Structure 1
């Protein structure tokens, strides 16, 4: 996508102005939130031309004086580079580093400003900016009624669990699952069958509802009663569990092969105008928004090794070992075994070099660990859920073998 410098700054400025306009809004003191009870418009016109910018530890943009709409000098976000960019004429190591208040400085990441000239980014430097890649997260642009229907669908399924031989759980990635417990006469033992709620739109709508209302519900389903959400490993208190659920839902709403980064996370919350419709319960649970606009993730803490400390069932190739030589086809006879193995080394293998262990990542020997807090950790938690979903998608268990996962070693 080609854009000129003024369009880029106008788009970023428009997002800032949209956010500022909501700083004067009074959060509704009711259980409604934004959906299933009045609704609110999203901001689809602000999608596109949004790039990675400098932010403080809470995700609030760090701005500088620049030209905004109608050539007026205003405070504008500052695009950053996180390393050399192909097609960019600038020498990364010669650029100005971000300041001590930057979230990148706090996390030990070398980030540098894309320089402005006369208050704007020159056309020849536009290739140096990095667009936030939303992928499937762009579904938040869908009409309100579409997203509301997706939320209603999810809540309807979850509210139908009878609590006797069914219950709500989470899968390895933290997505909500309806589990049914039955006795299989052919196998001769009780088995569990499950239905994972994996629809991106449903997960995106639920992500929004949880953060703006501190509970998952829909006004038109069982009288608006909230769904009792299961606790996933890593949950620490009610707010922590809600954050965990929301992070997994954001990961499920994203592209499996993409990445949920800091800017994708924060832009998405702004497009959904989460802070405009936060209930008083949500503000009490999570904390008031920063500058009345930016969602408050400051109480969130995340440890990958705790959240993904369990095992995963999959078909492991026993023979042949490794991939066939280039140009040769795989042998016809492939031996696989149904196994339960630790998830961490499978989904989060060690990184290639020691210099990659920044921003809270750590070398734990057979896997890469992460610990962190605030919005940086929330974005990582969402991306970790996405990564686990991608791994599971690449290693499916045939449905007829799923009951045997209970017996696999």
Structure 2
């Protein structure tokens, strides 16, 4: 059975693609019901018990783990550094620090940069909503027989064909933004570790046996929960982690940094995610092993025949996005937002790049009906 046949074998009679959940974010051509996406909300009608208001959240001066640098302002003019006289440090578009006023506030008219969260305001939903979404995803995951990552790193679940018992078919890819953000929260909290908080029974730990990296899966989940346009940056990642209380297994305490309840703020440790771990390091080469097929190339149409096979050309996502092929598909050739030689690829910067790469790939493949992802394709 070809990869394409496997991909389409879950179709229902009369449908051209597998059935999807009501809250799927697929476009209309793919059977999605975007008008039914109750998790895509404006700030005025989303949940009110998580994350507070997204307003006035600026791009900040941060270290390699995304921990904000604190600036001292002598509020009472006594030349002594009191604990409540430290403030986060905003920066402008050139990375220059913006001087705070005598009250530790941003002066009116200062060139601050507000962070755009787009559809990620779903994380402001009450925790019970995310818990429900997590359970919905786990119903499918726990019934799976095999697991892989799709073209942008989302989790795909495979089951044995009830007719051909030794053949695996793709049952579902977790594509709901809400379910993906619930999985993201779980992964960034526990990774695959058994802890007191999860009753020493990590429900995703079994994925380690399928060689699925916990943080790369988390990056794919984040991409599925975000808008499919724009650029994901360090500030967006760190703020979302804060809203979801994702400080990980080996959190970093930031001195003089408190929340509205005057409790210490902790941050995810990308330098050492778990005690003894090496720092997070991203390798874009993961896309060298993910292949897509074009049904239209060089103005020639390659239809899918009755056996589910097309003669269209196949390329790795890496080669398409890095310009290693003479592009003859429809529209402009896609490319990754971050130029590889201009940014660090480790710690929080590497994690932000991993997410943004996934966002760009999801936007491209998801949005073109003439492109087919070939899971498990062997060139």
Assess same fold via TM > 0.5: yes
Task: Tell me how far apart the structure 2 counterparts of residues 57 and 319 of structure 1 sit (CA, whole Å).
Answer: 44
Q: CA deviation at 1:274?
A: 2.3
Deviation at 1:75, TM superposition (A): 1.2
1:174 matched to which residue of 2?
A: 153
Any conservation in 1 of the 2:158–2:172 contact (CA below 8 Å)? yes
SS at match of 1:123: coil
Contact 2:290 2:375 in 1 (8 A): no
- The equivalences for 1:82-93 within 5 A come to 82-83=93-94
Aligned mates of 1:338, 1:408 — CA distance in 2: 15
- What is aligned with 1:377? 350
Deviations 1:342-385 (A, max 9, x none): 111323559xxxxxx9987229xxxxxx7621111111111112
Q: Deviations over 1:98-137 (max 9, x none)?
A: xxxxxxxxxxxxx212333444332222xx2111111121
Equivalent in 100, 110, 113 of residue 130 of structure 1: 113
Distance verdict in 2 for CA 1:191–1:155, change over 3 Å: closer
Q: For structure 2, which runs of at least 5 residues remain unmatched after alignment?
A: 1-47, 76-81, 195-199, 255-264, 273-278, 304-310, 325-335
TM-score (norm 2): 0.64
> Is contact 1:347–1:391 with CA below 8 Å preserved after alignment?
no
Counterparts in 2 of 1:64 and 1:405: CA distance versus 1, 3 Å: closer
Matched, 1:229 2:207: yes
Provide Cα deviations, 1:218-240, integer angstroms capped at 9, x if missing partner. xxxxx96623215788x7xxxxx
Q: Distance in 2 between matches of 1:297 and 1:176?
A: 22
TM-score after normalising by structure 1:
0.60
Q: Deviations over 1:195-217 (max 9, x none)?
A: 21011111111111112123399
Instruction: Name 2:366's counterpart in structure 1.
Output: 393
Q: Secondary structure at the match of 1:375?
A: helix
User: Is 1:347 the equivalent of 2:330?
Assistant: no
Indicate how the Cα distance of structure 1 residues 216 and 348 shifts in structure 2: closer, same or farther if over 3 A, else same: farther
Q: Distance in 2 between matches of 1:133 and 1:385?
A: 18
Instruction: Select between 387-396 and 258-267 the one with higher mean Cα deviation.
Output: 387-396
Give CA deviations for 1:265-318 in whole Å, capped at 9, x if unaligned: 10111111223xx6xxxx2xxx23333611111134333333222132232533
What's the counterpart of residue 215 of structure 1? 192
Greater percentage in helix: 1
Question: How far did residue 65 of structure 1 move?
Answer: 2.9
Sort the Cα spacing of 1:307 and 1:141 in 2 relative to 1 into closer, same or farther, 3 A.
same
Secondary structure, aligned partner of 1:362: helix
State the partner residue of 2:276. none
Report if aligned partners of 2:337, 2:357 keep a CA contact under 8 Å in 1. no
Change (3 A) 1:391 1:254: same
Match of 2:68 among 61, 75, 92: 61
Partner of 1:242: 214
Structure 1 residue 199 corresponds to structure 2 residue 176? yes
**Aligned-partner Cα distance in 2 for 1:318–1:209:** 41
